[in-house]
Amino acid sequence: MPSDPTLDLERELLAKGIGVVVGVDEVGRGAVAGPVVVGVAMIRAATDFPVGLRDSKLIAASKREKLMQPVADWVDAIATGEATAAEIDEFGIISALARAAERAFATLAIDGHDVSGASVILDGSHNWLKTSLLPPVDIMVRTKADRDCAVVAAASVWAKVYRDRLMVDSAGEDDTYGWASNKGYGSEGHFDAIRAHGATNFHRRTWLSSVLPVAPKE
């Protein structure tokens, strides 16, 4: 059974007098179509988090959807930012992730939430945030933070549901590429559809070029 996240790290940080803790996670990094999306979740107190909250990869889609309102009620603020397939092609995935994060943090600022001086918990094995584009924050990178830290799990669920909805909406009624089910990832059915119909502007063409020959869709 997957373990629930805790608030151990968040409480440790808040006990040091840090006023804001922000969890950051990304989804869609390995897809061949659609944007990469970064979620940021902000808390000022480590109150009990919603029952069932976990890393989005460990939760069924229907349960993720049901968690959206409880997560929104729990955090002080939450937002997403995205970078398009075209940006991923032009700048590379790491720069695209940084752009998406910048946009998510900008949304918090627009909504009146100041994260200056916050401790930011970033899921992953290296720091892909460009601090020059963000308010002054302290960034700590934690492997499996989306599994272990509740605030990062909240960001993970929020970003995953947002991106899944976007891919379903982008699929259209005929869903030629199966985005409603594959969410832009490289399933065999998705690749077969690209071979048959060509790529779209929603595809990451530089990624596809290393997988199969692709002709642009007219």
Read off the pLDDT of residues 42-98 as tens digits, 9 standing for 90 and up.
Answer: 999 999 999 999 999 999 999 999 999 999 999 999 999 999 999 999 999 999 999
Instruction: Provide the percentage of residues in the chain whose pLDDT is more than 70.
Output: 95
Give the number of other CB atoms < 10 A from CB of residue 38. 32
pLDDT in the model for residue 217: 52
Radius of gyration for the chain, computed over Cα atoms and rounded to the nearest angstrom: 18
Write down the CATH number for the domain with range 8-171: 3.30.420.10
Instruction: Provide the percentage of residues in the chain whose pLDDT is more than 90.
Output: 87
Q: Write the pLDDT tens digit of every residue in 171-194.
A: 999 999 999 999 999 999 999 999
Which tokens in the block code for residue 103?
């946009």
Report whether pLDDT(218) > 50. Answer: no
- Encoded amino acid at 188, one letter: E
Which residues fall within 8 angstroms of residue 185, CB to CB, at 6 or more apart?
30, 31, 32
pLDDT category, 3, cuts 50, 70, 90?
confident
Report whether pLDDT(215) > 60. Answer: no
Whole-structure pTM value = 0.94
Query: Do residues 31 and 184 make contact, with C-beta atoms less than 8 angstroms apart?
Result: yes
pLDDT in the model for residue 30: 94
Report whether pLDDT(203) > 90. Answer: yes
Which residues fall within 8 angstroms of residue 106, CB to CB, at 6 or more apart?
81
Which tokens in the block code for residue 213?
């020959």
- How far does Cα 132 stand from its chain's mean position? 20
